[in-house]
Amino acid sequence: MSVEAARPERLTIAGPAGPLEALSEEARGAPRPSYAVVCHPHPLHGGTMENKVVTTLARAFAAAGVAALRFNFRGVGASAGTFDGGFGETDDARAAAAYGAARWPGRRLMLAGFSFGSWVALRLAQSEPVDLLITVAPPVDRFDLSGLGAPRRWLVVQGDADEVVDPRRVFDWVKGFTPAPSLIVAPGVGHFFHGHLAELRDAVTEALRSG
């Protein structure tokens, strides 16, 4: 049974390039022994923690009893710093994960990201123990995702009508891992999940339920 998500709390996290603007979402009722960090899409193309896909991911975690933390990468909104091509942004995500570990001690880390944010989340998963990784529309044809290993539990959600990321390349990329991550293909869904956010929410909810 899911629990109702609480109102998001605005806060500031100490980041490697300066303060990071963030939102945390607790869950009412009995919490799960995990917390989630959610990474937003490309900062130079309007990506922020207020993105609808990012918000949907965070709310799905919180509704399932997982405390959720989303934040603005360096140079976005009130976050200090400037864009760093994904490398500094990975350090930002690491700082968010460290904040979560201190705020919710003893809980396991979950990571999620959308588009550019999914690349950052996967990069962070190479060095942090991750209980679950969720990547939505990973940008396999826009960034170098080669040489990255698969975490133990990993869900990829990809629309087959994505106009930004080539779905076929995502499908081929997923098959290259052993074991391959779980793949959910959303029929007729574009990159931004317009009109299909409920399907994304349900995919995350099911992944958490089965885990």
| 3 CB burial (10 A radius; 0-12, 13-18, 19+) | middle
With 80 as the cut, is the pLDDT of residue 6 above it?
no
Domains and their CATH numbers in the chain = 9-210 (3.40.50.1820)
CB atoms under 10 Å from CB of 71, counted, come to 29
Angle formed by the axes of helices 116-124 and 87-103, to 10°?
A: 60
* Local confidence band at 209 (pLDDT 50, 70, 90 cut-offs): confident
Average pLDDT rounded to a whole number, residues 58-64: 94
Q: What is the chain's length?
A: 211
With 50 as the cut, is the pLDDT of residue 204 above it?
yes
The owner of tokens 């933390």 is 69
Helices (H), 42-125: 52-63, 87-103, 116-124
Q: Residue 3: its pLDDT value, please? A: 46
CA gap 139, 65 in Å, rounded = 29
What are the strands of the beta sheet with 108-114, ordered from one edge? 9-15, 18-25, 67-71, 34-39, 108-114, 132-136, 154-159, 182-186
CB 33 within 8 A of CB 114: no
Q: Residue 30: its pLDDT value, please? A: 63
Cis? peptide before 138, omega within 30° of 0: no
